Amino acid sequence: MEKVKFIEMKDGDKEDYELLAKFEDKYIEGTADRVIRILKSLDSSLGGYQVSRLEHSLQAASRALRDNADEEMIVASLLHDIGDEIAPLNHSEISAAVLRPFVTEKTHWIIQQHGLFQSYYYNHHYGQDRNLRDKYIDHPFFKDTIKFCETYDQNSFDPNYDTIKLEDFIPMVHRIFNRDPHKHVYLGL
């Protein structure tokens, strides 16, 4: 396998970085498959709930699909908790960061903030303020994030829900992660 000549990045030349770009492009092409692997690993994570995190994610995506949400929101619903696997205390930010190059600012913000907005349903049981989300009351995506949590997230812990299978969502994940990330992020497409 070809390798760069440098051992410190500052010493790389154009030829080195063109070589790396080929490897990076190929690696980026595999992002959807890696994300799906991480999603599947949620099947055995975090106990206590009546469903696994994977089932919860599939239910959220199923609800989004049945609500006629756009494909981007369906995939975001599916992936909204993938950050739990490595960063349970800030999973929303991790999940949003994974999606960021491929989704709109609105979808990114909803996923990034959903953990805080979701605390509305339980914070008061811990003696904490359930209305922490209100600090964003004037944000343009405030109501959209409330809708996401109410319609897709907080109600997706039902062991009897008619959940759509992961295989049905995989083509959608590939379409979202095969978008041109630079064009999508910087041009808002």
Ramachandran angles phi, psi of 48, nearest 5°: 100, -35
Residue 186 has pLDDT above 70, yes or no: no
Question: How would residue 172 be classed by pLDDT, with cut points 50, 70 and 90?
Answer: very high
Q: In sequence order, what are the residues at sequence separation of 6 or more whose Cβ sits closer than 8 angstroms to the Cβ of residue 30?
A: none
Cα 152 to Cα 38: distance, rounded to the nearest angstrom: 20
Report the top-level CATH class of 9-187. Answer: mainly alpha
Length of the chain as a residue count: 189
The reported pTM is: 0.92
Ramachandran angles phi, psi of 40, nearest 5°: -60, -30
Question: Hey, what are 32's tokens?
Answer: 């959807």
The larger pLDDT score, comparing residue 13 to residue 44, is at 13
141-170 CB burial, b ≥16 within 10 A, e <16: bbebbbbbbebbbbebeeeebebbebeebe
Cα 179 to Cα 29: distance, rounded to the nearest angstrom: 10
Residue 184 has pLDDT above 70, yes or no: no
